[in-house]
Amino acid sequence: MCYSAQIHSDYRKMVRELGAVMDLDAFARLWIRENGLEHKKIPKALIDTLRPDLASEAVETMAARLDLAEQEWQQELFKQSKRKADNERKLAAKHTKTAETELGRATRKVDQLKGWIADRHRAELKPRDWQFYPQWWVPVLIREASGYVVRPMRYQLRQPGQPASSDFTRTGQMSGTYNARRDNLERYWRRQFGHTHGLMVVNTFFENVEGPDGKNMRLQFRPRTGEPMLVACLWATWTDPAGKDPDVDCFAAITDDPEPEVAAAGHDRTIINIKPEHVEAWLNPDPQNLDALYAIFDDKRHPYYEHRLAA
């Protein structure tokens, strides 16, 4: 599965090249959603780069929410700094396993909080600012009657008619519905496959694999050519059957059998990176001709995916 990826940093150029427009009203609604609470699941780069283009209400709502979040971080930083200092004094007087453990936890939390605060005010964007995870919001290219549109969508497709709890399994784990297996498209994904298709443009993706020691490793994959990937997706609009929660535009990335180098690295799936000449056909599917869509998959791009251990 594609557990995480990074939005193509120059995605606006790609938008222009594909003749698409940014749905700024949709991005503004996302900024305002739950009074800006979704900031936790929006890549920093999107918040920063879209600030000049969005309505003042959306920008002010997001800024107010981030100010509130920073106040909470500062309060927690004070608390954790005290915890750290207290345990440093305990260890100076007498070494105990408890104090050592508490010091380690407090130190990691202090570093994390300082990082969040520094990131809030950092103007220069870094590659990790474009990274997203399941349930985060991502720009997705779709086709509407008026033409190509880029709209923010949540990276986990919740099937229309299903309760919000369907995002998770009975054991409380997040379900794998942020990825759609090619061999299941005509079953679980039949209401989207051949009907509502999208593309996300990413530079790199991340996968969890088992390391030589049996422990989990996180690998970062990137095309050796350096070209951005056009990842085939399915999308839907979820409406709360109870009428309580706001609508959710959401999507899943389609995965196929792994490329040889990805399999050799220890992972069993790879996202489908379609060729630019197939964009029109993919975004304008004919539900009566699914063979043509599978043909797009069969003719996908095969760049060599280099990998390294993710930071």
Per-state percent for the chain, helix, strand, coil, to nearest 5:
40, 25, 30
> In terms of residue numbers, what domain contains 242?
4-24+127-309
Task: Label residue 235 exposed, middle or buried (CB < 10 Å: 0-12, 13-18, 19+).
Answer: buried
Q: Is 90 exceeded by the pLDDT of residue 8?
A: no
- Tokens matching residue 174: 């997040």
- In the prediction, which pLDDT does 1 show? 55
Task: Label residue 75 exposed, middle or buried (CB < 10 Å: 0-12, 13-18, 19+).
Answer: exposed
Q: Is residue 231 part of a domain?
A: yes
- In the prediction, which pLDDT does 159 show? 96
Q: What is the mean pLDDT of residues 81-99?
A: 96
Q: What is the mean pLDDT of residues 73-92?
A: 97
Q: Is residue 118 part of a domain?
A: no
- Report the mean per-residue pLDDT for the chain: 94
Q: Is 70 exceeded by the pLDDT of residue 69?
A: yes
Tell me the C-alpha distance between 175 and 64, whole Å.
32
CB neighbour list of residue 34: distance below 8 Å, 6 or more residues apart: 246
- In the prediction, which pLDDT does 191 show? 97
Q: Is 80 exceeded by the pLDDT of residue 3?
A: no
Q: Is residue 111 part of a domain?
A: no
- In the prediction, which pLDDT does 102 show? 97
Residues 22-53: b if buried by 16+ CB within 10 A, e if exposed: bbeebbbbbbbbeebebbebbbbbbbebbeee
pTM: 0.93
- Tokens matching residue 2: 């594609």
Tell me the C-alpha distance between 159 and 224, whole Å.
35
Residues 262-294: b if buried by 16+ CB within 10 A, e if exposed: beebbbebbbbbbeeebbebbbebeeeeeeebe
Q: What is the pLDDT of residues 19-60, one digit of tens each?
A: 889 999 999 999 999 999 999 999 999 999 999 999 999 999
Q: Is residue 261 part of a domain?
A: yes
CB neighbour list of residue 127: distance below 8 Å, 6 or more residues apart: 6, 9, 203
- The number of domains in the chain is 1
- In the prediction, which pLDDT does 178 show? 96
Is 262 in contact with 305 (CB distance < 8 Å)?
yes
Going by pLDDT thresholds of 50, 70 and 90, the confidence category of residue 14 is confident
Q: Is residue 205 part of a domain?
A: yes
Q: What is the mean pLDDT of residues 7-29?
A: 86
Going by pLDDT thresholds of 50, 70 and 90, the confidence category of residue 9 is confident
- In the prediction, which pLDDT does 228 show? 92
Q: What is the pLDDT of residues 237-265, one digit of tens each?
A: 999 988 888 899 999 999 999 999 999 99
Closest CA relative to residue 28, chosen from 38, 20, 14, 18:
38
Q: Is residue 73 part of a domain?
A: no
Q: What is the pLDDT of residues 141-184, one digit of tens each?
A: 999 988 999 999 999 999 999 999 999 998 999 999 999 999 99
CATH number for 235: 3.90.1680.10
Q: Is residue 16 part of a domain?
A: yes
Q: Is 90 exceeded by the pLDDT of residue 231?
A: yes
Q: Is residue 196 part of a domain?
A: yes
